[in-house]
Structure formats: structure tokens, C-alpha cells
Amino acid sequence: MKAITLYEPWASLMAIGAKANETRGSRTAHRGDICIHAAKADVGFSDVLAVAAISAFRSRGFNFHLNFGCIVAVVEIWDVQPSEAFTFQGMDKMFLQIPLTSEEKVFGNYAPGRFIYRTRNLRRLKTPVPCRGFQCVGWTVPADVEAKIKLQL
């Protein structure tokens, strides 16, 4: 299995279904299932993001809880688009070509020049699986971790 590492709260937001798009500075050729790994490092986040994240957790019946250094979900990357496919500038206003929820707007960076990894088929792990991660897209999950993940799918 392949994986992608996200900092918190973005990894847990994907795991609860509040975030379906991952925004990155480069494309990926990966399509198909990928594990969502919550980074071990805590990089902090803005108060605006914290309020939106807490609201997203509560609206879905979850207590606000962040995980660090573990696999929290499996999703399918089905499409990768440049951010310009989502928004375009015109007459000093921003218009959406591909609709985004208000949550997605807060939870992603849709600035020009970025790429949006569109996901579907979320499978949240009931018990996060500890694992060392890497800051690249599509790193390989160790066999023992993969076995623990597959038991929950």
C-alpha cells in the first residue's frame, strides 16, 4: 500500500470526511487507494482553522481529537487537477469552475500553481495504526503496518 503524510489537523479532517481534497505544490501520477498518514510533527495552525476543524468534528458527531505518527484512513485518489480548474479570476472576483464546499475552501490551499488531489471512497480506521511517515506522495507502508490496516478495512 502507498501512503501520503499530512500534518494535523488536515489528516484527521480527511479521516472524518470533512476534507476530500488534498492540495499540493506538485502533481502526482498516483491513482487508486492511498493511506492517509498523520505526521508525527505538530506544526500548529491558525485560530480560524482550529474553529473550523472543531466545528467539522462536532457536526459529524466526533470529539475533536488529533492523531500523530499514524495511519488514520484510506482513500482513493481518482483525479488530480491544477488549482486553476477550481477557480479563475475575472473582473476582480474569483469564480468556481469545480464547486468547493465552504469547509474545503478553509481546509485547502487553492492558490494558483497548486494541484488538487481529489479523493473518494473514504475508509476511516477505527483504531489509528502507528507508523513512521515520509514527506512525499506514495511512500510504501511497511508490511506489518499494511496487515494491521487491512484488518480494519
Task: Tell me the pTM.
Answer: 0.90
Tell me what the mean pLDDT of segment 29-48 comes to: 93
Give the domain ranges of the chain.
Answer: 2-152
Tell me what the mean pLDDT of segment 69-81 comes to: 96
Residue percentage of the chain with pLDDT more than 90: 73
Residue 88 has pLDDT above 90, yes or no: no
pLDDT reported for residue 92: 52
Residues 125-144: tens digit of each pLDDT: 999 999 999 988 999 999 99
Residue with more model confidence, 17 or 110: 17
pLDDT reported for residue 96: 52
| Band (10; pLDDT cuts 50, 70, 90) | very high
From edge to edge, which strands make up the β-sheet containing 70-82? 21-24, 115-130, 70-82, 32-38, 2-6, 137-140
Domain 2-152 indexed as CATH 2.30.130.30 = yes
pLDDT reported for residue 97: 64
| Band (91; pLDDT cuts 50, 70, 90) | very low
Residue percentage of the chain with pLDDT more than 70: 92
pLDDT reported for residue 153: 92
Are the beta carbons of 141 and 3 closer than 8 angstroms?
yes
Residue 147 vs residues 33, 49, 143, 150: alpha-carbon distances, Å: 15, 34, 6, 5
pLDDT reported for residue 100: 74
